[in-house]
Amino acid sequence: MRALPWLRPRAPVPADHLLGSRML
């Protein structure tokens, strides 16, 4: 459920991607 924020049906936002990598 953690990947929900950056796995949303949205454009590949760099900020979201960075957040995901950091939270991972």
pLDDT tens sequence across 1-24: 455 665 556 656 666 666 666 555
pLDDT score, position 22: 59
pTM over 0.75: no
Residue 13, SS3?
A: coil
Question: What was the pLDDT predicted at 24?
Answer: 54
SS3 assignment for 1-23: CCCCCCCCCCCCCHHHHHHHHHH
What is the model's pLDDT at position 16? 65
What is the spatial distance between Cα 15 and Cα 19, in angstroms, rounded to a whole number? 6
